[in-house]
Amino acid sequence: MEAVSRFIFRTRKPEELVREWRQSIRAQERQLERQIRSIETEELKVKRTIKQAAGRKDTASCRMLAKELVRSRRQKTRLHTNKAHLSSINMQLQQQLAMLKMSGTLKQSTEVMRAVNRLVRVPELSAQMQAMSMEMMKAGVISEMMEDTMDMLDDEELEDEADEEVEKVLFEVTNGKLGEAGAMPAEHIATATPAEAAAAVEEGEPELESMQARLEALRS
């Protein structure tokens, strides 16, 4: 069976391979677009909940949800970056098709190799990109995968920077009631007793946990 597979691979024309790769890349781009839209839809719900929590003087829930919003925005940035890498590969493959008409063979591309190397380590794309990278190596488009020093934010870096970003998100979503401009206005603080604050947190806890779970699922 393996010998048959190798024979089939050798008899496939280079232009067929490139068209298949480009079709796969477009499918992966659509997958990322759907994930981005899902995150954006959930973010709108989180923003509404933050405003409601601010109206209840529930600053604890506001800050927890704002932190989730920070994480989601970072994830969206990563998804947009990955989509840009896919677009880059697609453009390079389009150029390969143009060169095929003159040379009859596929050429090795450092740009494709770098982009594929980044995307192989992206959970959403890893399986597809690993299979594609093997085909590209056999076809001579890329050589062995390179070490990549792409910067990735780990949990510690997120914690170090999260407070400032959370303040900005709170200021933005609550129209300045919370966040950069300071804590909850003094008159609100004065009217919220510890018992009322605790009750507000307890009242919103199921919804808060549900939103956190949905955002976490979208980021995974």
* Span 87-104, pLDDT tens digits: 999 999 998 888 887 777
- What are the tens digits of pLDDT across the range 163-187? 788 888 888 888 888 876 433 333 3
- Please answer whether residues 179 and 167 qualify as being in contact, where contact means their C-beta atoms are separated by less than 8 angstroms: yes
- Whether residue 18 is contained in a domain is answered as yes
Residue 198: band (very low, low, confident or very high) from pLDDT cuts 50, 70, 90 = very low
pLDDT of 197 higher than 50? no
Q: Could you report how far apart the first and last alpha carbons of the chain are, in Å? A: 36
pLDDT number for residue 107: 86
- Closest among 117, 75, 89, 111 to 217, alpha carbons compared: 75
Range of the domain at 24: 12-144+165-219
- Whether residue 158 is contained in a domain is answered as no
CA dihedral of 149, 150, 156, 157, whole degrees rounded to 10 = 120
Across 71-93, average pLDDT: 94
- Whether residue 160 is contained in a domain is answered as no
- Whether residue 42 is contained in a domain is answered as yes
- Whether residue 151 is contained in a domain is answered as no
